[in-house]
Amino acid sequence: MGDENNLPYPFEFRDITDEEKLVIDKLHDFPYASELARLGPKGYIVNKAFKKDAANIYNLPLKSSDIFVTSYQRSGTTWTQELVWLLASDLDYEKALAVPLVDRYSFLEMFMFVPDAGLDSFINTVSQNTENFNKETMLQIVNFLGTPASRKLAITPSPRFIKSHLPMSLLPPKVLDTAKMVYIARDPRDVAVSFYHHTRLFMLTGFKGTFKEFWQLFHGDLLALTPYFEHVKEAWEKRHDPNMLFLFYEDLSKDLPAAIHRVADFLGKKLDDAQTAALCDHLSIENFKKNKAVNFEEFRALGMLAKDEAFVRKGKTGGWRDYFDEKMTQQAEKWIADNLKDTDLRFPSTN
């Protein structure tokens, strides 16, 4: 695709309000709100760094062999990525265990999560978190993470596996005309709990608040790529497209073999009972926690992960009940009902 064929970028970036900045910054170690903007008519929260590659992502040259795994973050993305990759790669467990998932998938918007304003704060935190801190190595890693994926994808051989937490409207507009996509959704209350621990784990934003304060940011559309429901509904509207498979985390959790067969059918693969059982075993939460290729433990040795958090946690549904008080529960129920009233989208019950 030549530049002359590129679509003009249709969305405007706008600053968040001063009131929103105050709410955000009191919960972070550095002025994190200065990194953020709202994008497009739905006001998705993005880091301002997204500007440098937004148009390239929107105009990303696609191939029919491309497979996207997309979601709102902490919805079961990593689990789904591993499942999709193994099915598409004819169950190559040897490679799956040897090559980290981050090297098997291009993370489309990872570059925007490397904060400019908070970089010194983050590096200082990391230096206190490891005995063998090397600033030069750390800056090389940060530089790698901050490199736009569109550049990496231009030289990635097929089949290309692409992960993204961007909503459909920020992806290439004709993505489903060419590539396949698996979207995974999860009860937003469980998403909030998992996202809270994830934010504490990676320390990039310097978040220092309680879960209750984190929930108010999530509920108030003040976290990355919120509003949550707009994100999910954009994918839900495309669920009947032959190149889209819409999954619920709760369904994977309840009946993994059935979910595996749905994904296999979508990718044109057939599994016998023994292969299905072996894949279920590989994807079990117990084995996933121990699997160094998927749990980001290589970052722990570098001091980039908080010592009291893990990337793969409990993997259960309905765990939000351990975190929500009565007032938060009622607020969440009303929020969910209000956002689903004009749609047939319903999250599977976790009772």
For the entire predicted model, the pTM comes to 0.90
- Are 62 and 172 in contact by the 8 Å Cβ rule? The answer is yes
How many whole angstroms from its chain centre is CA 351? 25
Ranking 118-122, 255-259, 272-276 by mean pLDDT, the lowest is 118-122
Distances (CA, A) of 38 to 42, 157, 263, 309, 319: 8, 34, 34, 30, 30
Mind listing the pLDDT tens digit for each residue in 20-40? 999 999 999 888 898 899 999
Q: What is the mean pLDDT of residues 247-256?
A: 95
- pLDDT, tens only, 46-59: 999 999 999 999 99
pLDDT at 145: 72
Please give the Cα distance from 61 to 161 (Å, whole number): 14
Top pLDDT among 349 and 107 is at 107
Under the banding of pLDDT at 50, 70 and 90, the label for residue 206 is confident
Q: State whether the Cα torsion 299-303-305-307 is positive or negative.
A: positive
> Given this model, what pLDDT does residue 132 score?
64
Is 223 strand, coil or helix? coil
Q: Render pLDDT for 318-333 as a digit per residue (tens, 0 to 9).
A: 889 999 999 999 999 9
Q: Which residues contact 176 (CB under 8 A, 6 or more apart)?
A: 238, 241, 243, 244
Closest CA to 188 of 27, 324, 347: 347
Phi, psi for 190 (deg, rounded to 5) = -70, -35
Q: Which of 55-64, 84-93, 127-136 has the weakest average pLDDT?
A: 127-136
- Convert the pLDDT of each residue in 125-175 to its tens digit: 666 666 666 667 666 666 667 788 898 899 999 999 999 999 999 999 999
State the amino acid at position 241 in one-letter form.
Answer: D
pLDDT for residue 311 is more than 90: no
pLDDT (0 to 100) of residue 298? 60
CATH entry, 14-340, from 3.40.50.300, 1.10.10.10, 1.20.810.10, 3.90.850.10: 3.40.50.300
Tokens of 4: 């002359």
Q: What per-residue confidence (pLDDT) applies to 139?
A: 67
